[in-house]
Homo-oligomer: A and B are copies of this chain.
Amino acid sequence: MKKILLFIALFSAINSFCQTDSTFIRKVYDEALERGEAYENLRSLCKDIGARITGSAEAEMAVKWGEKLLNSYGFDKVYLQEIKVPHWERGTKEAAWVINEKGETYKLDILALGGSIGTNGLISGEVIEVANLEALQQLSENDVKGKVVFISQAFDQKHINTFHAYGGCYPIRGKGTNEAGKLNAKAVVIRSLATPEDDFPHTGTMHYDEGVNKIPGAAMSTKNATMLSAWLKKGKVTLKMEMDCEKFEDVTSYNVIAEMNGKDNKIITWGGHLDSWDVGDGAHDDGAGIVHSIEALRILKKLGYQPNHKLRCVLFMNEENGNMGGKSYAKIASENKEEHICAIESDRGGFLPVGFDINGTEEQVKFVNQHKELLSDFELFRFKKGYGGVDIGPLKEFYPDMIQLGMAINSQIYFNYHHSNNDVFENVNQRELELGAAAMATMIYLMDKSLK
């Protein structure tokens, strides 16, 4: 009899625990969907500030914006964490033309790749097309010298998750210019890393190895790339290009941090990145992650949640071209002997959230999946092993046992906008954004409650 009573008591306790979770999470969603501030905050970041690459006035305005907004919510602590970040500017000249053997001329839609050197005036060269980075690496200096290398690899549309298609093409943007420079090419132009065929060029970071001959690199729209391939099938094509982008000395900037105190000093960190590329509004990448992260903390505070651990929301700086925010944050955490148990990132846009990817052990994947049934009521379904995020990534070096989670978001349209002039506030849906904020708050709450 005693055993049965104990069982009933235990069952009731578990049941009430689950009920409480479900009730609390329902309140999180109500707050996000009915009285949410994420959408207006995103409008402000996108339109009152704008695109905000590190080194720009906008990036520094964004730091002030974040600090002021976090202070306005009255969190336990708001502070800046000083870091050094790169400073690269696109400049004012950015144009390219292709000319075929008949003398027909076509102006391309291009963007310099982030970090590229300028052309120092108008340059010109015969175009040589290569299918991908491996094809380029198989060429010799004779094939390439003095020419403009055009890398035409397109997204593999068969991938259901478009981040896999992006990953497949990433090397042409990250390494293509460097590899062609080794062979003394004149410049590199790539097909933009984007899902659709349209007129928007997409920028993104690239890298020069120490000591390699630096040449300019740019991306053209996917429509341009398809057209250029067609032209090259018919004969020689010359490409003329001018860009005056330039790298300057590193500058000081900041991660912007807000905290809510817990019963202990173990830390749950989450965030997105405050910087963006210097085009569009940086709305999906990663204005959405910034307002998701701020809104999650606002909601938890509004609902009077008393955390077990220290909750820390971080607006990371410089994810796009150096990740100095993420690297510095991890180093400082380790130096301060902080105890980090979990980190969560939102950096896949403001579209519909579908779950969380888990960077951790099989046991940690199971640990997160204990909440799967509960979360399915809130239309969150996917809790698989995967990647956390660039900003939180460096923490893993110092805290290999921590759980890292990346919010999984419908990826189908992300690379229509990513790193382009098309990544504007108008392309973010209010409800999808609000659901992302609610999902972040929910996962922070569940990790805080269930992690020892």
Residues of A within 8 A of B (CB): 29-30, 33-34, 157-158, 160-162, 195-196, 352, 354-355, 376, 378-379, 381-382, 384, 410, 412-413, 416, 429-432, 435
C-alpha spacing A30/B160, complex, angstroms: 9
Chain B contacts of A158 at CB under 8 A? 29-30, 33-34
A352→B432 contact, CB < 8 A: no
When A and B form their complex, which 8 residue pairs have the shortest distance between CB atoms, in order from nearest?
Answer: A381-B381, A412-B431, A33-B157, A412-B432, A30-B158, A352-B410, A160-B379, A33-B158
Question: Copies of this chain, how many?
Answer: 2
Per the bound structure, the CA–CA distance linking A37 and B379 in Å amounts to 30
A224 to chain B: closest CB distance in Å?
19
Q: Are B378 and A354 in touch, CB under 8 angstroms?
A: no
Is there an interface contact between B429 and A378, defined as CB atoms closer than 8 Å? Answer: no
A410 CA / B157 CA spacing, docked (Å): 21
Q: How far is the CA of A157 from the CA of B31 in the complex (A)?
A: 10
25 contacts between A and B (CB under 8 A): A29-B158, A30-B158, A33-B158, A33-B160, A34-B157, A34-B158, A160-B379, A161-B379, A162-B431, A196-B430, A352-B352, A352-B410, A354-B354, A354-B381, A355-B381, A376-B382, A376-B384, A379-B382, A410-B410, A412-B429, A412-B431, A412-B435, A413-B429, A413-B432, A416-B429
Q: What residues of chain B lie closer than 8 Å to A33, measured between beta carbons?
A: 157-158, 160
In the complex formed, the residue of B with least CB distance to A30 is B158
B residues in contact with A432, CB < 8 Å? 412-413
Give the residue among A355, A381, A432 with the most B Cβ atoms within 10 A. Answer: A381
Q: How many Å from the CB of A433 to the closest CB on chain B?
A: 10
Residues of B within 8 A of A162 (CB): 431
Shortest Cβ gap from A295 to chain B (Å): 15
Q: Using Cβ atoms and an 8 Å threshold, which residues of chain B touch A352? A: 352, 410, 412
Partner pick for A378 among B157, B160, B195, B412, CB 8 A cutoff: B160
Tell me, in angstroms, the Cα distance from A381 to B430 when the chains sit together.
24
Q: How far is the CA of A183 from the CA of B297 in the complex (A)?
A: 51
Q: How far is the CA of A376 from the CA of B384 in the complex (A)?
A: 10
